[in-house]
Amino acid sequence: MKALAANFVPAADEVWRLQHGKDAECKLFQGFMEKGHYGGRVQPTDTRQGTYCCTPSGQFLASCNTNDPKQMAGMLRTALSKWKEMTQAVRLSSEVEKPSEIQRPETKYPKDGLVLQVIVRDLPREDGKCPDDWRKDAWNQDYAWFTRREAAQLLPATLEVGAKGTTPAALISRLARAHLIDTVRGQSSAYQNGAIESAWLETRIDKIAGDRVSLTLFGASQSNEKGSWSVNGFADMNDPSANTRGIDCKLLGSATYDRSKGKFVQFELVAAGQRHGATQYNGRADDPGPAPIGFVFRIAPDLPQNHVAPTNFWVYNWQ
C-alpha cells in the first residue's frame, strides 16, 4: 500500500458539499463521481462517498469504498495502469475551470482567534455493556472555532487576580449545540437551539505574570432533544420513531491568555458526564445509555491539517 500510495497525491474532503456545491472544485468532482462505484445510486442513499483516483484535469481513473487494504491496493493498481496509458495532454488538460472564488468554510479559519481540537470518547463504565471490539476504544474529533473578538469574551471584564467572568450565552450555547455531541462511534447532527436546557461557562483569574493571565474555567451543559428520527442506519431509515437524545456534563479547565499577543497560548477544557439516546448514524442503536462520555478541547497547532472547519459550521452563522 505504501509503495502504491507514493504514486498519488492524497486529498480528503466532505462529500456532501462536493456533490451539491456550485463552485469549480465541486464541479470537478461532479464531473467524474458518476463514473465511480456509486454512479447512479439513489438507494439506500445517494451518497458518493469513497476513495476516487483521478487526473488533475478530472479524468476518472478508478474508485471504491472500502477499508479492506487488498481491495484498496487493487483499485490503486487499476488507476495507475490507466494513468500510464494516458497522454500528458489528457492528464493535465487546461480546459478545467479554475476556481475564481473558493466557497468553503475553511476560508473562515480564524487565524488570529482561538482554534480548538475537540476529542470525544466513551469513559469507563461499570454496566459491562461495552462490546469487546473496536467500539471500546472508539473516539472521534472535530474543531471548535472562536474569532479573536469571541476569544476575548472568554476573559473577565477586569484583568486582575480573583476577577470572574461569564461567557456570553451565545458562545457557550454554540459550543453545546455544535460540539457536545455523541459522535464517538459515528456521525450525529447538531442540536436544535431549543434542545439546550442549560449551558454556562465561567472563568476566574488565578495568576498574572507579566503579560500572561492564568485562568480556571468551570461550567456545565445539559441538552435534551425530543423528536422523531431513525437510530439504526439504513435498517430503519424509512421508519423513524419517537426518540430523545442528550448530554449532561460538567466542564472544567485552565487557560493562559497572553496580553501582548492578544490571544490564548494555552487552553484545555474537559467536559465529562452522561449521554443518552441515539441518532441514525452514530452507532448507538444497541447502546442508548445513559452511559459516561468525555470531551477534551485543546489548542490545535496552526498547521494545514488542523484548518478543517467545524463539522456543524452552519450553527456558527458566520457571514
Tens digit of pLDDT for each residue in 122-142?
Answer: 999 888 788 888 998 999 999
Of the listed ranges 88-92, 195-199, 314-318, the least confidently predicted one is 88-92
Q: Is 7 helix (H, G, I), strand (E, B) or coil?
A: coil
CA-wise closest residue to 73 among 6, 171, 150: 6
Which ranges constitute the DSSP H helices of the chain? 2-5, 15-20, 24-32, 69-85, 88-91, 148-152, 169-178
User: Which pLDDT score is estimated for 24?
Assistant: 86
Q: Kindly report which listed range (94-103, 194-203, 207-216, 267-276) carries the lowest average pLDDT score.
A: 94-103
User: Residue 305 to residues 12, 106, 116, 118, 302: CA-CA distances in angstroms?
Assistant: 10, 11, 13, 14, 8
Instruction: State pLDDT tens for residues 147-185.
Output: 999 999 999 999 999 999 999 999 999 999 999 999 999
How far is the CA of 72 from the CAs of 46, 78, 97, 158, in angstroms? 22, 10, 30, 57
Question: Cell 460538567 maps to which residue?
Answer: 250
Tens of pLDDT, residues 63-86: 999 999 999 999 999 999 999 999
pLDDT in tens, 229-257: 999 999 999 999 999 999 999 999 999 99
319 compared with 215, residue with greater pLDDT: 215
pTM of the full structure: 0.88
Please state, for a pLDDT cut of 90, what percent of the chain lies above it.
84
For residue 266, is pLDDT > 70? Answer: yes
How deeply is 76 buried, as exposed, middle or buried, from its count of CB atoms within 10 A (0-12, 13-18, 19+)?
Answer: buried
